[in-house]
């Protein structure tokens, strides 16, 4: 009974949110997420079940939020990079570097956890600044500049860990990815704090306008007095910070630093999350909340596929098909052409409906003559 009532309340709230977003671009992403959740409601037993143990919430939906935190954090930095017309392929490697640095300082060098975390974030910021220097300072194409660190970054992480998997049990480090705050995973708090800070940074200052201007027309923005190089340098540096946080969460989840696997292919999920969230790869206007919802959608889709016993080797195929479908419905051109395709069907049904006797659907008037 309690589960039934909680599910009903969940869908009422979700429906209200979806209705309020009906005129927004993000409505297609939220709608796709709703369909995915609705599928799990009927076909995945126990997906909506949430229980409270030792003051903490547990369940599949909680796991989606916890496991999706890494892609959400990456998407916050990636959306700003893509808004300038660039792309950051190195975020997965920066995650590995962050995990390697923090674990090495914590275990091998016996440094306090606070210092290890701080140094790992500083190194991640420097890695992002390196990308920004290559893109904004030297003028290298973003996909090439970040590909350099994507390839070399894991090698650097392997050098830091000396090719070993470093395990740790420090309570502070473990808390980052496994702790709880207000009965919810602490990773969700990290995402919300970073989302609010990013929103304040780009929507309460002129920086957001500068980013969209640079992405829309780099040359015109320079002529209008905007320092495009500084804007690009900042977004890549910020992307490095977000990747560093995601790397700390990733190594905390498994209580070890695996430089070969942490963050592997997550840069692709981050890019997909941004695109599904409504931001164009060509740059210009961006949607921060849309990127986070896109990351949540991708994680829900991944969890759904695993719950249906779809192999991890096969899951990218249906995952790609669903994402393509969502992206197509976000396109106004596709929706317009789809309407043209189904327009002849409406012309066929209209004559058929006119042949149906109307009096079979209308009640006789009280003053109608009797036959």
Quick: pLDDT tens for 322-368. 888 877 877 778 878 888 887 776 566 555 445 444 444 444 444 44
| Res 2: pLDDT | 52
Dihedral, 307, 313, 318, 319 alpha carbons, nearest 10: 80
Structure-block tokens of residue 65: 């939020």
Rounded to whole angstroms, the Cα distance separating 99 from 88 reads 19
DSSP structural state of residue 365: P
Rounded to whole angstroms, the Cα distance separating 317 from 307 reads 16
| Res 353: pLDDT | 46
Structure-block tokens of residue 86: 């660039």
The whole-number average pLDDT for the span 2-18 is: 83
The whole-number average pLDDT for the span 93-111 is: 94
| Res 271: pLDDT | 92
Report in angstroms the alpha-carbon separations of 4 from 11, 60, 148, 174: 11, 16, 52, 34
Residue 64 has pLDDT above 60, yes or no: yes
Buried b (16+ CB within 10 A) or exposed e, 281-290: eebbebbbbb
Mean pLDDT score of the chain: 87
The whole-number average pLDDT for the span 197-205 is: 93
The whole-number average pLDDT for the span 41-67 is: 87
The whole-number average pLDDT for the span 46-73 is: 89
| Res 210: pLDDT | 94
Give the position of tokens 């949430």. Answer: 50
| Res 366: pLDDT | 46
State the pTM of this model: 0.87
Give residue-wise pLDDT tens across range 298-321. 999 988 888 888 887 787 888 788
More confident residue, 355 or 150: 150
The whole-number average pLDDT for the span 56-81 is: 93
What are the residues whose beta carbons fall under 8 Å from the beta carbon of 332, sequence distance 6 or more?
none
CB 41 within 8 A of CB 207: no
What are the residues whose beta carbons fall under 8 Å from the beta carbon of 56, sequence distance 6 or more?
180, 183, 184
- The segment with the largest mean pLDDT, out of 9-18, 55-64, 110-119, is 110-119
| Res 223: pLDDT | 85
| Res 360: pLDDT | 42
- In the chain, DSSP assigns E strands to 50-53, 56-59, 166-167, 180-181, 184-185, 256-257
The whole-number average pLDDT for the span 178-195 is: 93
**Of residues 323, 307, 289, 344, the one with CA closest to residue 44:** 307
The whole-number average pLDDT for the span 16-40 is: 88
The whole-number average pLDDT for the span 145-159 is: 93
Residue 234 has pLDDT above 70, yes or no: yes
Give residue-wise pLDDT tens across range 104-148. 999 988 899 999 999 999 999 999 999 999 999 999 999 999 999
- Domain architecture of the chain: domains with CATH: 2-331 (1.10.3470)
Residue 278 has pLDDT above 80, yes or no: yes
């Amino acid at each position: 009974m309690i589960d039934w009532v909680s599910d009903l309340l969940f869908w009422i709230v979700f429906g209200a949110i979806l209705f309020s977003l009906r005129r927004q671009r993000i409505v297609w992403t939220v709608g796709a997420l709703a369909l995915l959740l609705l599928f799990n409601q009927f076909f995945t037993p126990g997906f909506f079940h949430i229980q409270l143990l030792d003051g903490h919430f547990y369940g599949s939906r909680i796991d989606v939020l916890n496991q999706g935190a890494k892609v959400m954090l990456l998407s916050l930095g990636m959306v700003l990079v893509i808004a300038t017309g660039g792309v950051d392929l190195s975020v997965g490697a920066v995650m590995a570097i962050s995990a390697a640095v923090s674990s090495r300082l914590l275990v091998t060098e016996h440094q306090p956890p606070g210092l290890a975390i701080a140094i790992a974030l500083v190194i991640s910021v420097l890695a992002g600044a390196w990308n920004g220097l290559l893109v904004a300072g030297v003028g290298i194409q973003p996909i090439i500049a970040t590909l350099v660190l994507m390839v070399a970054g894991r090698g650097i992480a392997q050098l830091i860990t000396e090719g070993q998997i470093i395990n740790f049990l420090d309570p502070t480090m473990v808390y980052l990815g496994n702790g709880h705050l207000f009965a919810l995973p602490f990773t969700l708090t990290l995402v919300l704090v970073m989302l609010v800070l990013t929103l304040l940074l780009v929507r309460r200052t002129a920086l957001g306008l500068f980013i969209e201007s640079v992405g829309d027309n780099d040359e015109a923005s320079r002529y209008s007095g905007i320092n495009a190089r500084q804007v690009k340098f900042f977004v890549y540096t910020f992307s490095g910070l977000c990747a560093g946080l995601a790397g700390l969460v990733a190594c905390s989840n498994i209580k070890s630093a695996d430089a070969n696997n942490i963050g592997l292919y997550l840069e692709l999920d981050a890019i997909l999350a941004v695109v599904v969230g409504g931001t164009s790869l060509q740059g210009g206007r961006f949607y921060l909340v849309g990127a986070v919802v896109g990351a949540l959608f991708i994680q829900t889709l991944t969890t759904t596929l695993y719950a249906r016993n779809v192999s991890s080797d096969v899951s990218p195929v249906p995952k790609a098909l669903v994402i393509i479908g969502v992206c197509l419905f976000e396109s106004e051109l596709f929706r317009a052409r789809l309407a043209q395709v189904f327009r002849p069907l409406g012309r066929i049904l209209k004559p058929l409906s006119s042949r149906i006797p109307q009096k079979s659907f209308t009640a006789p008037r009280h003053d109608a003559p009797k036959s």
